[in-house]
Amino acid sequence: MRFARTAVLLAAMTGLFLAVGYLVGGAGGALMALFMAGAMNMFAYWNSDRLVLSMYGARPVDRTSAPGLYGIVEHLARRASMPMPKVYVIDNPQPNAFATGRNPENAAVAATTGLLALLNEEEIAGVMAHELAHVRNRDTLTMTITATLAGAISMLGNMVLFMGSSRGSEEGNSSSPLGFVGSLLLMILAPLAAMLVQTGISRSREYEADRIGAAICGNPLWLASALAKLERGASQIDNHAAEANPATAHMFIVNPLHARSMDNLFSTHPATANRIKALQDMAQQYGIHPHDRKINSSERDGGQTSPWEKAPGHRRGPWG
C-alpha cells in the first residue's frame, strides 16, 4: 500500500514538473522540462551519494578504524542478505544518521559522532538496520529523484515571471498562458506543492523503513529507544551543514533541522512519537517486552557474532 502511495506521489511530482514547464513556455516548455528532468535525474543517479557524503564531510571507516560500527553494519547486512555497504562517520555533534546510494550494490550508511556517543550498541543496531531498510527498498534513489524534481520545480517557478514578463512588457502582458497574476501565483504555489509531495513520499518511506529495519535487527524496541534519544538530541544540537542544505533533511533518520518557522505540514518526517508507538506495537506482536531490550555490552566472542545478537528478546526477522 505504501509502495503504491509512493508511486502515485512520484507520478504527481513528475506531472507537476511538466505542467510548470508547459505554463512557462507551452509545449516547448514542457519538452524542455522533460529534458531537464532526465538530465538532472541522470546526474543525481550517478553522483548523489558522493555529493551528499562530501557535503557533510563524511569519512570512510573500516573494521580497523571503527570496529564497533563496522561490525554491526556487517552483521546486519548479512542478516538481511544484502551486499555490505560502505560505512562512514560524520564529525558532527548532532546525533543522526542517513543512507545514500543508487542501489544496494553501491550504497553507503553514515552515522554522526554525536549518535555514536549517545546510543548504546543495540540502539545503534536499530538505527543502522533502519538505514539498511532504506537501501533495500531503494528509498535512497527515490528520495534523490524527488529532491531533484522539487528543486527543479522551484527553479522553473522562479523563471516564470522573468521569461514571460520581458516578452510581453510592451503590452503589459505575460507570455505565460496564465498571465502575470497567474504566473505570480504559480511561482509561489508550485514550490509549495512540490514540497508537500516530497514530504508525503518521505513520511511514507520512514514508516516502512522503521518496520523493515526492526525486522532486520530483530527487536523493534532497540529502534524505538534510539528514536526517542535522537529526537531529543537533534532538537538541542544544531546541524549547521543540514541547515545550509535543507533539501537533504529528508535523508536523515530524524529531522536535523530546527524548523522554527515551518509548520508540521511541511515536516519531512512523521512525528517521532507515532513512529515509536508503531514500533512498540510491533514489539508486542513479536512477544518482546521492554525489559528484554537491554544487553550486557561487555559480552564478546572474538567478533564472530555481534554481542547484541545474544540479547534476551532477540528475534530473527524475515531475513534472519
Find out whether 235 and 171 touch, Cβ atoms under 8 Å: no
DSSP 8-state symbol, 252: B
Distance of CA 301 to CAs 129, 297, 305, 315, Å? 22, 12, 7, 20
Q: Does the CA dihedral 36-41-46-52 come out positive or negative? A: positive
Residue of 97, 101, 105, 86 lying closest to 140 (CA atoms):
101
CA distance 267 to 200: 9
Residues 6+ apart with CB under 8 A from 202: 143, 146, 250, 268, 269
Residues 6+ apart with CB under 8 A from 233: 94, 95, 114, 115, 118
CA distance 275 to 211: 9
Find out whether 319 and 216 touch, Cβ atoms under 8 Å: yes
Find out whether 124 and 115 touch, Cβ atoms under 8 Å: yes
Residue 246, all three cell numbers: 535543507
List residues with catalytic annotation: 131
Residue 82, all three cell numbers: 544484502
Classify strands 86-90 and 107-112 as parallel, antiparallel or unpaired.
Answer: parallel
Q: What are phi and psi of 59, to 5 degrees?
A: -115, 135
